[in-house]
Amino acid sequence: MTVRLYYTDARLDRFTAIALAISDDGRRVVLDRTAFYPTSGGQPHDLGTLGGIAIVDVIDEDDRIAHSLAEPIGVPVGAMLEGHIDAARRFDHMQQHTGQHLLSAMLADEFGWPTVSVHFGDDTNTVDVACADFDADTLGAIERRANALIVQNHRVTVSFEDAALAIGLRKPSDRDGELRIVTIEGIDRSACGGTHVDFTGEIGALLLRRAEKTKGNTRIEFVCGHRAVARARLDAELLTRTARTLSAAPHDVPGLVDQQVQRLTDADRERKRLAGELARYEAAERWTACIPGRDGVRRIVVSTSGAVKESEPLAQQLVALGGCAVAVTNAAMGGVLMATAADTEIDAGQRLRAALQAVNGRGGGSPRLAQGAVPDPSQLPAVLEALGFAEALPGAPPEA
């Protein structure tokens, strides 16, 4: 059994312990006691060194905690080892975790939104709350209220209580026996095994990044403490850099970005219109130049250096002229697209699917339009022949 030193002293960053078990060729060590926090309760594991070797993971095995090392420890079972915790990482996790307790308690008490789930990440954290109708303007009010509670510097304490006697918990525990209770004086009481600061003032600033709907709830992204300051600094630098690029003041950036997006949308719409016009002219030229086969169907092969999907407008314009079947190919990527006019009674999807399956290719589509690819581009001629375009190959137009 491993004694969890972090339960009673979250600031302990150096300790000695005895190796109870060593496995995985010396890369996995179980100690009689440890200050290393394992991944648990959504909080990431600690990093640092054990016996001078870097910790890569800390695993909770119920009664024991296993330490995964970057290289073999090189000592026997029973050896005394010294552990060093990455104190900066530990304190960051303490700030994030205590900040989450305060935020969740405030959201439940003042907004009526109980916490559904929590995730702590290396960069940002999220808390999902039972709120289906969230007003984005509320985010600022929540942030201001949370920071007001933080600066009141409420005391944070840890106690161990019998589960049957523990009262006033924000979320009832389904565990029996002894519970570890983290209390933020006057704000929250929660059963929790994580590491926490001693006073809410040590949380530092709490920054709410954004909120979004998810599975009927609302997910709020947040960061605390040093991480919040670093994130705000980065946001300011990004905004300043963007403003400089636009030759504008930072507060004018949102409006200018909206204008640029609208211009791009308008330009893309015009590009598509012009592409459609070009496709009509090119289609008329190709259709007229193509001699119908014995069945009266014009079979036109279009070779392209881009994705075959990009030539779909041209193919659609061709089949719109009637009595026409079109095959678009890309010799480099092995892509193939087939389109047929309704009056040809040729099922493009059925025909292309069968031709591709014969060469272990994949694809299909509707009777009028289908798309797929061959494993080897050298198989394209065989596919085109199976599709009935063999006679069209010698007179195929130049690349589109």
Among 21, 23, 42, 159, smallest CA distance to 34 is for 21
% pLDDT > 90, the chain: 78
Identify the band that residue 400 occupies on the pLDDT scale cut at 50, 70 and 90. Answer: very low
Model confidence band, residue 396 (pLDDT cutoffs 50, 70, 90):
very low
Which tokens belong to 119?
Answer: 């995730």
- For residues 69-81, give the mean pLDDT: 96
Confidence band, pLDDT 50/70/90 cuts, at residue 395: very low
Q: With bands split at pLDDT 50, 70 and 90, how would you rate the model's confidence at 399? A: very low
Q: What is the pLDDT of residue 202?
A: 97
CA distances from 357 to 226, 380, 383 (A): 58, 12, 10
Task: Look at the pTM and tell me if it is higher than 0.75.
Answer: no
Segment 43-61 mean pLDDT: 96
pLDDT number for residue 275: 85
User: What's the mean pLDDT in 168-174?
Assistant: 87
Per-residue pLDDT, 393: 65
Torsion of CA 29, 32, 34, 38, to 10 degrees: 60
Would the pLDDT of 112 be above 80? Answer: yes
- Please report, rounded to a whole number, the percentage of residues in the chain having pLDDT higher than 70: 98
pLDDT over 90 (residue 292): yes
Q: Is the pLDDT of residue 254 over 80?
A: yes
What domains appear along the chain, each with residue ranges and CATH number?
3-85 (2.40.30.130), 91-244 (3.30.980.10), 279-392 (3.10.310.40)
pLDDT value of position 247: 87
